[in-house]
Amino acid sequence: MTKAELTDVLAGKIGITKSKASEAVNTIFKSITGALKKGDKVTLVGFGTFDVVKRAARTGMNPQTKEKIKIKASKVARFRAGKALKDAVKK
């Protein structure tokens, strides 16, 4: 499902215009992104949890040249599915 499809579903389900639905979807995504930038965890009960984790620096390899390269430490967003989502996908 794309962002546009999600917007269409939201507009149809609650009977609002596509532009209002798009605004709502964008606001939710911006809110989650903002919270993660601040280092907060976002928990949507029954759906899952978004958080930021640190990846340590490590040595990698360029697959074309087989040359070893250093990969810097970084922060990445992570999503862990909640129990209700896991159960829904299993069925």
pLDDT at 91 over 80: no
Lookup: tokens for 38 = 């601040």
Main-chain phi, psi angles of 44, to 5 degrees: -110, 100
Give the integer Cα–Cα distance in Å for 43 and 81: 10
pLDDT in tens, 39-68: 999 999 999 999 999 999 999 999 999 999
Per-residue confidence (pLDDT) for residue 76, from 0 to 100: 96
Q: Which tens digits make up the pLDDT trace of 2-46?
A: 999 999 999 999 999 999 999 999 999 999 999 999 999 999 999
pTM: 0.80
